[in-house]
Amino acid sequence: MSFISNLINGLSLGSMYALIALGYTMVYGIAKMLNFAHGDVIMVGAFTMFTAAATLKFSPAISIIAGIIVCTLLGVIIEKIAYKPLRKASPLTVLITAIGVSYFLQSLALLIFGSNQKSFPMLFNFEPIRVNEDLILKSDSLMTMGVTILIMVALTLFINKTKTGRAMLAVSEDKGAAELMGVNVNKTISITFAIGSSLAAVAGLFFGLTYGFIGPYTGAMPGIKAFVAAVLGGIGNIPGAMLGGILLGVIENLSKAYISTELSDAIVFAVLIIVLLVKPTGLMGKKINEKV
C-alpha cells in the first residue's frame, strides 16, 4: 500500500480516536474526572446499531439514530446514578466507580450478546474510490474523516457561540463561580455527558464499519487509546483532543505499516510518554502553577 493510503487510513483511525477523545476531554474539563467507562459507551453504541439493523431489520438511518439516542441517554443516566453523588469525593473514588461502570457495561453486554464477536452489518455499501493503481480510497475512511470534520466544526461553534456552550466553558473554568453567575451546573454537566456519549456512539459506528466485528470488550482498547490522545493533546482542551486523536491514529497506522504491527501500541504509548516528559501538560495544555 502506498504511503498516501496508509496516511489516509491513519487519519480515519485518528478521526475515530478524536471523537472518543472529545468525550473524555469534555467530561474531564467539566467534571474533573476520568470517565473510564467512556470506551464502553462506544461498544454499547455499536451493539445498539447491530441489534437495530441486523436483528430488528431497521433501516441504516434509524439504526444509527437509535444508537446515538441510546448512548446519549446512557451517558446522562450513568452520570446521574454513579458520578453525581461523588462530586465532592476523592478523584480516586470516582475513578474506581468509573471502572465499576465499565465492568458493568462489559458484563452486561457479555450476558446479552455472549463472548463471540458479532459481525457488524454493512450499513453503507459504497464503492471504494480508485484514484490510480496504488491509491484506492476506502469510502468508509473518507466518510469517517468527513463526518468527524463536520462534528468538530459544529462542536466548536456550539461551544463558542451558544449560551449552553459558554456555560460549559464557565463550569470547566470554575464550577463555584459559574453557579454564582446563574449557570445551572447540573444541567451543564448532563449536557456534557450527553454530547460526549453521542460522539462515542458515532465512533462506535465507525469502529464497526472499519473493523467489521464487535464484541463486549470492543470499546476498551479504543477507549484507552482515546484517553491517551486526550492526554497527549492536553486533557480538558478540546482542540487538543482533536489534534491528539488524529496524531495518534496516524502514528499508529504508520508504525503498523512501516515498523511492526505488534509494536504499534507500544510506539503509540512511547510517543505519549515522550511528549509528556517534554511538555508535562500535553501539547496544548496550559501550565498550572500551584499558588503558594
Partner 1 sequence: MKKNNLNIHNLITYGIVVAAFLFVSILVWTGNASRHLQAMLVPIGLNIILAVSLNLIVGFLGELTLGHAGFMSVGAYAGCLFAIKYAEILPTAVRFPLAMIIGGLVACVFGIIIGVPVLRLKGDYLAIVTLAFGEIIRSIIINLEFTGGASGLKGTPQNSNFYIVFVVIMITLVVITNLVNSRAGRAICSIRDNRIAAESLGINITYYKLLAFVIAAFFAGVAGVIYGHNLSILQASVFDYNRSIEILVIVVLGGMGSIRGSVIAAVIITALPEMLRSLADYRMLIYAVVLIAMMLLNGSQKFDKYKGRMNIGGLFTLLKNKKSAKEAG
Radius of gyration of the CA atoms of the chain, in A: 19
- Supply the minimum distance, in Å, between the C-beta of residue 106 and partner 1: 8
Q: Could you give the CA distance from residue 38 to residue 41 in angstroms, rounded to a whole number?
A: 5
Classify burial at 286, counting beta carbons within 10 Å of its beta carbon; exposed 0-12, middle 13-18, buried 19 or more: exposed
Q: Is 259 in the site for partner 1 (CB under 8 A)?
A: no
Q: Is 180 in the site for partner 1 (CB under 8 A)?
A: no
List % helix, strand, coil for the chain (3-state, nearest 5).
75, 5, 25
Residue 99 touching partner 1 (CB under 8 A):
yes
**Minimum distance from residue 276 beta carbon to partner 1 (Å):** 6
Task: Find the part of the chain contacting partner 1 (CB under 8 A) among 13-21, 107-115, 168-176, 245-253.
Answer: 107-115
Asked if 59 touches partner 1 (CB under 8 A), the answer is no
Residue 260's alpha-carbon distances to 4, 121, 226, 256, 265, in angstroms, are 18, 30, 21, 5, 10
**Which residue from 231, 243, 257, 283 is in contact with partner 1, where contact means CB under 8 A?**
231
Residue (97 or 141) nearer to partner 1, CB:
97
According to the binding rule CB under 8 A, does residue 265 interact with partner 1? yes
Toward partner 1, which CB reaches closer, 133 or 262? 262
Separation of alpha carbons 19 and 268, rounded Å = 18
Least distance from partner 1 to the Cβ atom of residue 32, Å: 9
Residue 260 contacts partner 1 per CB under 8 A: yes
Q: What DSSP designation does 37 have? A: T
